Structure 1
Amino acid sequence: MARQPNSLPTQPLSETQRDFLIRPFLIETDPQETHEQPHRHNFQEILWVRSGRGKHAIDGLELTIQPNTFYLIAKGQVHQLITGIDLDGLVIRFTDAFLPNFLSQEMGHYQTVLFNNVTINHTLPVPPNALPNFEALLGLLLAEFNSADGRANQEILRHLLTVLLIKLGKVQREVVSGGGTAVSPEAQLFHEFTLLLEEQYSQTHTVQDFAQMLNITPRQLSDITRQFVGRTAKHLIEERLMLEAKRLLTFTNLSVKEIAHRLGYKDPSHFSKIFKKKTKTTPQAYKTT
């Protein structure tokens, strides 16, 4: 696997579609999507696989591609489409800025459910009874995207995407916790924590500091994270740090010392100690495997 000297390449949407894109995913006519190098995106991505099979790696986790399934790739995650046979479906890509402003609080909740680097469930199989509704919605999105450009066109796309995310959020919550649609104060705090964690993980490593940013106690923060994902805030902070460490060890030529400093560890030996505790191997050994 080729390594980048300092960091992974980050791909933008495109020169012409800066905030939203939807297109058919046909492996026979889209060879550039196969055997691609690991990379990051600066947008959220949804793959809808209608039929076919293959393999797709997200943050080093190899997933078997199955029909009638959505695959979610969060902004910043390392991913790679490895193989595909007779794949048919759609690719949807969008930036955070594309979502409607008036739904920011609710959409923030759905983005927390669907797209984050810690708790994301990458695979969302669609129940058979829900397939017609999803296909109809995706058809509307694709038709509107391919129609004439204009302000109204963009607004329609935004709202159709909003409906899709809400429906996917419902499926995700049912998979994870058995339901519930209201955006509670605890859910809003959990959303704010995940955003802060994504922004601050390389500068802030303690539950106390994150809790202070949220104006709650460390115990309250851990109670909230346990409620939504069954893990303490400390566990999520360490998990996010180790995820980024694994990415940098696998996909860059940075030394262990450089990675430790990039992740905010002043003492590289402390980083190595935590990494070994969490992964049962040293950073150097992980890098060479």
Structure 2
Amino acid sequence: MLRNTDVPTYLTYGRTAKTDDIGSVHIEKVMDRRSLHNGHVAAHQHTQLVQLCQWTSGGGTYAIDDRIIPFTAPTFVFMPTQVVHGFDVLDGSDAIVISLKDAEMTTSSFFRSPPYRDTLILNGSESPRPSPLITTLMEAGYDRYRQNPATAEGVVCGLANAILAEAATLARMQDSKATRPADHRIADLIEMHFRDSWSVSEYARQLGCTPYQLNAMARTTCGHSLKRLISDRRLLESKRLLAFTIRPIETIAAEIGLPDPAYFSRFFHRLTGLSPRDWRRQWLEKTAHPSTDAPPNTFL
């Protein structure tokens, strides 16, 4: 469990140099860096890279934002930029990891759709297992990169398109609203301004509609009112800060746009049933003593 004031930001795990140092594409296996992490990758985020990860053996647990997710191979994970994540895995676990410059993905309109702005996991639990096609394409990318990294970029980016298209088809994204442009625009605006205490009218003005139209759009495309969506985003950010930093609660309250600590505590309790302090304590206890009942290793 991370104890530093801030969540570290990496390119590939453990590397903080400029993205240009690794080019637009980088592929490796998780256990290539075993000496660095020994199966425990602490919470971190990537601001410039997206990652495609195919677990080919073993299993363990992911920590993604405020969630603990158990998994066994085969499991596929797509990790977009700026998502706090880490994992603990059993001996014998390994995965292929394709890291791509975010710009390489966003040049295609396909990757600007919401499915590729959110974490996507295919683990056979709440979603299907990854298909043999995903496994084949991930292995093809790894083999091509090993042959000559300097000439692999075009091939790997093409494979990444195919892998994510297949992953989206398998998952079916579980909610048709994810494909609607209105959902995209609302999410973008909330991401930019959830800390700013904007009124619904201010959001509506930016989107060129009335507050009534905006709330109707939000309910249709996202399933909730705009205020609820803003609250959900503030809650997620507060959980990230409680879990992965040691900042005081009053500082966290101010950072998410609720500068009154008492009001923030009521807000947090209303949505979680716990005070911020109790939630942080439970999180620390849960991550300090992860479950040891992980299933045995399975291999593709």
Normalised to the residue count of structure 2, the TM-score between the two structures is 0.77
8 Å CA contact 1:245, 1:259 repeated in 2: yes
Aligned residues between the structures: 273
1:19 counterpart letter in structure 2: S
Aligned 1:72-151 pairs, distance under 5 A: 72-99=78-105, 101=107, 103=108, 105-109=109-113, 112-116=114-118, 120-125=119-124, 131-150=131-150
Pair 1:28–1:4, CA change in 2 (3 A) = closer
Provide the C-alpha distance between the structure 1 equivalents of 2:227 and 2:267, rounded to a whole number of angstroms. 13
1:176 counterpart letter in structure 2: Q
Match of 1:39 among 44, 51, 55: 44
1:108 counterpart letter in structure 2: R
8 Å CA contact 2:200, 2:226 repeated in 1: yes
* Structure 1: gaps of 5 or more residues: none
The reply on whether 1:256 has 2:231 as its aligned counterpart is: no
Q: Which has the higher contact order (CA 8 A, sep 6+)?
A: 2
Aligned 1:54-69 pairs, distance under 5 A: 54-69=60-75
Structure 1, 11-20 or 162-171: larger mean CA deviation: 11-20
RMSD (Å) for aligned C-alpha atoms: 3.0
1:22 counterpart letter in structure 2: I
8 Å CA contact 1:60, 1:79 repeated in 2: no
Please report how far the alpha carbon of residue 108 of structure 1 lies from its aligned counterpart in structure 2 after TM superposition.
0.5
Partner of 2:168: 169
Please report how far the alpha carbon of residue 241 of structure 1 lies from its aligned counterpart in structure 2 after TM superposition.
0.7
Pair 1:165–1:131, CA change in 2 (3 A) = closer
Match of 2:201 among 188, 202, 208: 208
Q: Deviations over 1:45-94 (max 9, x none)?
A: 33211232211211231111122221233322222212323223311222
Please report how far the alpha carbon of residue 30 of structure 1 lies from its aligned counterpart in structure 2 after TM superposition.
6.0
The reply on whether 1:25 has 2:23 as its aligned counterpart is: no
Provide the C-alpha distance between the structure 2 equivalents of 1:161 and 1:51, rounded to a whole number of angstroms. 21
8 Å CA contact 1:57, 1:63 repeated in 2: yes
8 Å CA contact 1:144, 1:153 repeated in 2: yes
1:47 counterpart letter in structure 2: C
Please report how far the alpha carbon of residue 175 of structure 1 lies from its aligned counterpart in structure 2 after TM superposition.
4.7
Provide the C-alpha distance between the structure 2 equivalents of 1:19 and 1:205, rounded to a whole number of angstroms. 37
Secondary structure of 2:147's partner? coil
8 Å CA contact 2:59, 2:72 repeated in 1: yes
Q: Deviations over 1:178-229 (max 9, x none)?
A: x799x6xxx1221222233333322255443333322234444444444454
Please report how far the alpha carbon of residue 127 of structure 1 lies from its aligned counterpart in structure 2 after TM superposition.
5.3
8 Å CA contact 2:183, 2:222 repeated in 1: no
Pair 1:223–1:95, CA change in 2 (3 A) = farther
